[in-house]
Structure 1
Amino acid sequence: MASARHPQRSGWFSSVLSTTSLVALMVALVSTTATTAWGQLPRTRLTSVTPPVGQVGVTVEVTVAGADIDEVGVMSFSHAGITALQKTTESGGKKTPVANTFVVTIAKNVPAGLYDARVTGLFGASNPMTFAVTSREIVRESEGNNGYDEADEFALGKTVYGQINGAADVDYLKFTGKQGQRVVVDCQATRVDSSLHAICEIYSRVDGRVRQLSFARRQVGHDPVTDVTLPADGEYFVKIYDERFAGSVAHTYLLTAHTGPHIDFVRPAAGVPGTTGTFTLYGRNLPGGQPAGLMLDRRELQKLVVKIAVPKSTTDLSLSGIRVEPVSAGLDAFEYALKADNGVSNSVPIYFATGTMGVEVEPNNTAEKAQKIQVPGDVTGVLQKRGDEDIYEFSMKAGQVFWIEVFSQRIGAPADPYLIVDMVQVDKDGKEQAPKRVTAVDDNGTNLFANHFDTATDDPVYRFQSAGDAKYRVTVRDRNFQSVGSSRHVYRLSIRPEERDFRVVVLPLGQNTGQNSNTAQNYGIALRKGENFLCRALAFRRDGFNAAIEVTAEGLPKGVVCHGTTIGVGQTSAPLVFTATEDAPEMTTSVRLVAKARLDDPAKVTAADAAKKAVVAALAAVPKATAAIKPADDAVKKAQGLRTTAEKKYTADNKVSTDAAKAKTKTDKTAADTKKAADTAQTADTAAKKKATDTAKTAADTKKVSDTAQTADTAAKKKAADTAKAAADTKKAADDAAKKLTAAQAAAKKAADDAAKKKAAEAVKAATAVKA
């Protein structure tokens, strides 16, 4: 970009992995040596070119004006077919240059359009100013034409170059026409870098009675464009003046009245790259045009269906016939003009789309009549009357991401669009309920370089991710829709997948003058030897693209260095510095700037972003999760305590069982010993019986012995019987005690096991429920 005032770009380049922006800048090297106060040294500034227009194949004399234009001797243009030599006068065989005057020659192969003009003098190359090239014959307005009787006459089809020279100056022009002719009057002022804010009025005069037929201002690029169907043969007058009644040498205009084609807008406003699409032109005097059913300034427009080939690539797009405002500098477009037997139309931009093309179909002002569209898609509509709002309906899958954007101000229309997104809701019976509002979006306030290169726009943009499979409705209306609406209120609704990209503009920065540092100054790049010159690289980021962008310079002349710059992650601008060495030769040349960045797969980037967001959300949820888990942890600890208690009880009960078992073993041993003693007693009894028998046999003769033996036998029998009985009783008691002990031990062990198992199971169940 050469300047904030003339932000016409030279081209763009894009690829799958990276996007490269190309910008051509004019660099001039000046012989003046730099000083410590370099910021106060003068620089060449161009403020007017008179006339700012030339005819194809014709030579024209041009005068320039500006600040610090000392010794200006070179004039150059952005098209090689436009050349200039400084005018000279000859006296005494010696040629003397005429200050600030050039003879400009326009080759026959130069297309009609708008081009950059610069001058170079003692203080370097200037900023650019617009120089128009036309195929029409040019007539110069002469002063003194301040009334109907003094009006300058010109023929239809010619272009009048004029000036509003001073305050309250008014220019009257007149042409002769025939009844029924539809005459288009186009007054270019802002579009050719003029300071004039023109108002254009058309009058008829019959028998001395003047009647206004048309009034126009700020229709196209802040300039007036109007038309009138002539009611009768005769003279018609065009009145031109500044809306603030200002005037100067810089208040110039180019006025053309013709019966040729004029295009007001195109539907659709965009085409798919590399295709030949069907487009409908809306305008006036279109050859073969049909009534469009649309009124503009109370005049019906015509429409004409044409086929237009859309370029496959956006590389090096040229918009020589269209002025591009800073707010529109980030858009890709190509220009189209209709060539017909009745002339060549004005140029209009056609943009590039990424989805199915469509146009608005009325009526679509209510939810019941919402126009169903396919997404991704691109729809061109018109807010053609007061209260008009256009509603579109489409379906989305869960998780789908689309960028919804409305273009109107940026495509040169006067609308201030307002965007509403609603989700369609239905009940269980499929009956539609009140819609759920998703969002309502107004202006996009991103301003890359306020006051110098304003990019804040009235056009809304919104990133939308569907929460589920659903139908959605988008409503487009003007912010002041209850009071505005016309066929000029054209908009383009784009619903596209996330395609991260960028465009870069490079703006030379001049020194500030006066005390207001916010006032934009218009300078070219002029380097003095040993000096630095500061530019600013501005990034239009699209669809959430946030990566770093590297800007480098190529084709630098000898003695000029530029180390490039990086527009950092999330940043929109960065300084770019050109440096001239002390031995750099004087020259004026163009350099090529390249901006590159890596563009990752949008799906992967979206997934990575979603993962990052999920991690952040998870980390943010840790404190809440910890607080939520604490009761569960407490329950687990309590359950573990209950389990420990149960295990201790089980151990104690098991010890009781073990001790009982040991007591039973001891009792069993005692019983065994008692039985053994009984057996011994039995043996003794048997031995005693045997001995008694033997004794009885041997002492049968002696009664005393017999009596003694008998007594002993009886006593022994009784003792043996008592001993045996005692042993049997002891054994029975031991057996009964052992049985009771075994039953008690088993019951105690079973009760302890059951209690421990039940408590442990309950504790584990409680802990599991809490964690879940």
Structure 2
Amino acid sequence: MTGRLLLLTVSASIVSALSLSAQPVITELQPRGAQKGKPFTLTLAGRNLGEGAKIRSTMPASFTLLTPDQPAPIPGGPMQGEGRYATFLVEPTADLAAGVYPIRVVTSEGISNVQLFTVGAFPEFTEDESRPGALPNTNDSMEDAQGLPPPPFTLNGALRGPERDMFRLSARAGEKRVIEVEARRCGSAIDPLLEILDANARVIARSEDAPLLGLDARVEVAFPRDGDYYVVVRDARFSTQTANFYRLKVGSYAYPREVFPLGGRRGELVETSLGSETVTVDLRNASSNVHQVFVNVPGSPALPVPFAVGDDPELNAPVGDGVIDSPVTINARLAKADQVDRYTLRVPTGRAMTFRIQARELGTSKLMAVITVRDEKGNVLGRSGDEPLAEDLYNVNQSRTAGDPILRLQTPAGVNQVTVTVEDLALRGGPGYAYRLNVQPVAQDFRVILNSAFVNVPAEGSVAVPLTVLRQGFEDEIQLRVANAPKGLRVEGGYVVAGLPVKETPQNRNSRGVLVLTAEPGETFESLDLTVEGVARLPDGSMIVRKAEGPGMIVNVAGASEQGAVDRQRSLTAPWMGLELVTARTKPRAATLEVTMLDRTRMAEGDQIKFRWKWTLRDATQALPKTVSAEMVGSADVRVIDMQADAKDSSTGTFMMTTTRLTRPSKYDIYITGRLNLGGGEQEDIVSRPITVKVDEVGAGNAQTRSRP
């Protein structure tokens, strides 16, 4: 792009760890669930599910491939034309428990994404409209409602776009039933709304975002008279989702009606109320990277609910009027509307402190919390939960409801006691408005978050693995690494620039790093879970090591493409699976790509650094792009200009990167990416190995100084 100025932004330079070409992809499972204790067949639909595909899962079962490429259609519209099918005989072990299990496949082309499979306690059925070859919109009215069998049962269905599914259920007067929809908890993108109608189409029960279920729905109905009733399932926004399945469960059973407290301290036995019963949660062996476990009413066929795990001393409300020492986690709830909880805490004077709420993000509370901290005279020291959104360079999909509030502040000199208030943004309250308030001095710490759930590394090629560092008081440089890299896997890059970007705000404490993984020529390695770590040195010389946390899976939700999207439209992840960076080696790609630094010109306002890219093709007839994407990882105010392919040799070209006074002096990892069009709509992203470039502080003596690497 000769003469054009390209602003180097994260959105333009992020390279997905997923290949766009031949890696295996699972788009659908059929069925989505099964009754425990019985063998069943499982059909995977997607792309590149070739011969020899093997299932990888935590489900205690054997998986026998019956046919590697089954042409039978699976409902869901466009998904049917995307590729092939593989069917397995699944024979569970006797100890298979009800719950949600990850399913993925491994082939010679690498490892696939995760789809979730649910094991239930009731007999399983399939919606007629979801069967292979069925016509759409055949059960959208009371007249066409599909009849349901006598409870208990679980029905697997799907919503094909903005429709509603209607089912007819017979009941006797006074009969009580629990009716619920499992969707988001099982990896579906739909936001279910559940209604129960009588024979006159009057709504006798309705649920959306039921307590403890996140966005899923549940009602408990006492039917007033003998006769037929109608169960209606639809998406709350009538949206069209790719992951459009749901599980309708009907029966008479106990389930958690509350969780209080919402969590407990690592290393302890903790009692928590689930409404009808109190259970003991064993956190004595919870590892340092475990932030939640799951709890349930004993013997319940309902899916378990999350229970938070913390490290500080815990108190359960009521805590009285005395002064509370920190660090501490206080478990409480806003039991009624307009309630404002107040706590007096002893804090170290002049010390940086963190005040954090856990509630809505746990999935077991409806609280949209606002926290305020005041000194002994009533002066507001800080407030969080109702402030404008921060301008976050590394978060293009944030929203006001995208997280529980966190407040970091410095206690003024002479202040050793503060008052903290907790309230709901809309002044709501009730049994479902519990929270955890954690107060602690800001330690020099950080967390490392994997932005990818898995990665396939091409033979003799490279792939970029982006990570986000959540800084929690530590602002120095951090080096990312792979602790268990096998022979044949080269790990490069991973440098996280020290300090905060110049335009940083108090709400924005994220930094970016990118590891580049390369499969060495002639070497092979099996699929494995890579342990990614962040390593840094504290001021006292000691080392701090933090293990990266993975998303488990990523399911896109339609409507979540712009900043300000509400939380129900955010991508669905499953960090509770505890998966690390799942990695496999794949076949070579169509080319390799290299970047080199040519020269640098020191200007009065910054540097101009010239680079060359070079393609090496496996097929000389492959068309090459005229540009590449470039990233100086973690930099601010850097631009890419004068990108030009060589007029005589299309396999090479040059570009410039310019820095300014706003670019932090530091070393940086630089890598480039090029996208090849392979024909037939297939594409491959080719990633270079990284190089290191040092940016010096801009000074008067720097102008017009020219140097070569």
TM-score of the superposed pair, with normalisation by structure 2: 0.61
1:270 equivalent to 2:263? Answer: yes
Pair 1:583 & 2:522 matched: yes
Q: Does 1:193 align with 2:123?
A: no
**Letter of the structure 1 residue corresponding to residue 310 of structure 2:** F
Match of 1:383 in 2: 334
Contact 1:534-1:578 at 8 Å conserved across structures: yes
- The structure-2 alpha-carbon separation of the partners of 1:401 and 1:579, relative to structure 1 and needing over 3 Å to count, comes to closer
How do 1:632-671 residues align onto structure 2 when only pairs under 5 Å count?
none
Find the aligned partners of 2:104 and 2:294 in 1 and give their Cα distance: 24
What does the per-residue CA deviation read over 1:400-442, in whole Å, with 9 as the maximum and x for residues that have no partner? 65421112232223332211112233xxxxxxxxx22222223
Please give the alpha-carbon distance, in whole angstroms, between the structure 1 residues aligned to 2:270 and 2:541: 28
Matches for 1:289-438 after TM superposition, within 5 Å = 304-315=277-288, 317=290, 332-340=291-299, 346-360=304-318, 373-396=324-347, 398-399=349-350, 402-412=353-363, 413-425=365-377, 435-438=378-381
Structure 2 counterpart of 1:526, from 453, 456, 461: 456
Note if contact 1:374-1:394 (Cα within 8 Å) is conserved in structure 2: yes
Residues 458-499 of structure 1 show CA distances to partners (whole Å, capped at 9, x for unaligned) of: 423223425325543211112332xx4443333211122334
- Identity value in percent: 21
* Residue ranges of structure 1 left out of the alignment (5+ in a row): 1-26, 29-38, 92-96, 287-303, 318-331, 362-368, 426-434, 509-522, 606-772
What is the DSSP-based 3-state SS (H/G/I as helix, E as strand, rest coil) of the residue aligned with 2:128?
Answer: coil
Q: After the TM superposition, which of the residue ranges 187-196 and 384-393 deviates more from structure 2?
A: 384-393
Q: Is the 8 A contact 2:316 2:331 kept in 1?
A: yes
Q: TM-score, normalised by structure 1?
A: 0.56
Q: Report the residue type matching 1:63 in the other structure.
A: T
Match of 2:411 among 465, 468, 475: 465
Deviation at 1:525? 1.9
Q: Which amino acid aligns with 1:269?
A: L
Partner Cα separation in structure 2 for residue 464 and residue 334 of structure 1: 33
- Inter-partner Cα distance in structure 1 for 2:321 and 2:30: 53
Contact kept in structure 2, 1:74 and 1:85, CA below 8 Å: no
Pairwise CA distance, 1:191: 2.4
**Structure 2 letter corresponding to 1:507:** N
Are residues 474 and 89 of structure 1, via their aligned partners in 2, closer, same or farther at CA, if it must alter by over 3 Å?
A: closer
Instruction: Decide which of 123, 128, 131 is 1:137's aligned counterpart.
Output: 123
Instruction: Evaluate the alpha carbon distance shift between residue 222 and residue 396 of structure 1 in structure 2; reply closer, same or farther with a 3 A threshold.
Output: same
- Displacement, 1:235? 4.8
The alpha-carbon distance between structure 1 residues 402 and 90, as it changes in their structure 2 partners (threshold 3 A), is: closer
Q: Could you tell me how far 1:576 is from its partner in structure 2?
A: 1.0
Q: Post-superposition shift, 1:564? A: 6.2
Deviations along 1:266-320, whole A, 9 cap, x unmatched? 22222222222333333xxx2xxxxxxxxxxxxxxxxx44433323542464xxx
Higher strand share: 2
Q: Is the 8 A contact 1:552 1:595 kept in 2?
A: yes
SS in 1 for 2:185: helix
Displacement, 1:86?
Answer: 2.9
Q: 2:382 aligns with which of 433, 439, 457?
A: 439
Cα displacement (A) at 1:111: 3.2
Aligned residue number for residue 36 of structure 2: 56
Cα distance in 1 for residues equivalent to 2:539 and 2:172: 61
What displacement does 1:252 show? Answer: 0.5
Which residue type is aligned with residue 114 of structure 1? V
**Correspondence for 1:118:** 104
Kept after mapping to 2: 8 A contact 1:42/1:123? yes
Q: Confirm or deny: 8 A CA contact 1:355 1:496 kept in the other structure.
A: no
Letter in 2 for 1:158: F
Q: Verify: 1:552 aligned to 2:481, yes or no.
A: yes
Report the Cα offset of residue 82 of structure 1. Answer: 3.7
Match of 1:212 in 2: 203
Aligned position for 1:504: 448
- C-alpha change, 1:531 and 1:50, in structure 2 (3 Å) is same
In 1, the alpha carbon distance for the partners of 2:541 and 2:280 equals 33
Distance 1:336 1:40, change over 3 A: closer
SS in 1 for 2:216: coil
1:253 maps to 246
Instruction: Note if contact 2:193-2:236 (Cα within 8 Å) is conserved in structure 1.
Output: yes
- Structure 1 residue 476 and structure 2 residue 422: aligned? yes
1:232 to partner: Cα distance: 4.9
1:81 is the counterpart of 2:63 = no
CA distance in 2, matches of 1:447, 1:55: 45
Shift of residue 177 of structure 1?
6.0
Task: Give the whole-Å Cα distance in 2 for the aligned partners of 1:556 and 1:221.
Answer: 37
On the 8 A contact 1:273/1:310 being kept in 2, the answer is yes
State how far apart, in whole Å, the 1-side matches of 2:172 and 2:390 are.
48
Superposition RMSD in Å: 3.8
- 449-458 vs 57-66, which moves further: 449-458
Structure 1 residues 658-737: aligned runs within 5 Å: none
Deviation string 1:502-549 (CA, Å, 9 cap, x unpaired) is 3322233xxxxxxxxxxxxxx84223221111111222333x123443
- The alpha-carbon distance between structure 1 residues 423 and 236, as it changes in their structure 2 partners (threshold 3 A), is same
Amino acid at match of 1:59: P
Give 1:231 shift. 3.8
One-letter amino acid matched to 2:518: T
Structure 2 unpaired stretches of 5+: 1-16, 71-82, 130-137, 500-509, 545-709
Aligned partner letter, 1:257: V
1:239 deviates by 1.0
Shift of 1:202: 1.8
- Residues in 2 aligned to 1:560 and 1:398: alpha-carbon distance in whole angstroms: 49
8 Å Cα contact 1:376/1:497 also seen in 2: yes
Change (3 A) 1:587 1:51: same
SS at 2:163's partner residue? coil
Q: Which amino acid aligns with 1:146?
A: D
**Structure number with bigger Rg:** 1
- CA gap 1:153/1:456 in 2 versus in 1, 3 angstroms: closer
The CA distance in 2 between the partners of 1:72 and 1:388, in whole Å, is 61
Alignment-derived partner of residue 149 in structure 2: 154
> 192-201 or 108-117: which moved more?
108-117
Report whether the alignment pairs 1:450 with 2:395.
yes
- After TM superposition, list the pairs within 5 Å mapping 1:9-20 onto structure 2: none
Deviation at 1:397, TM superposition (A): 5.5
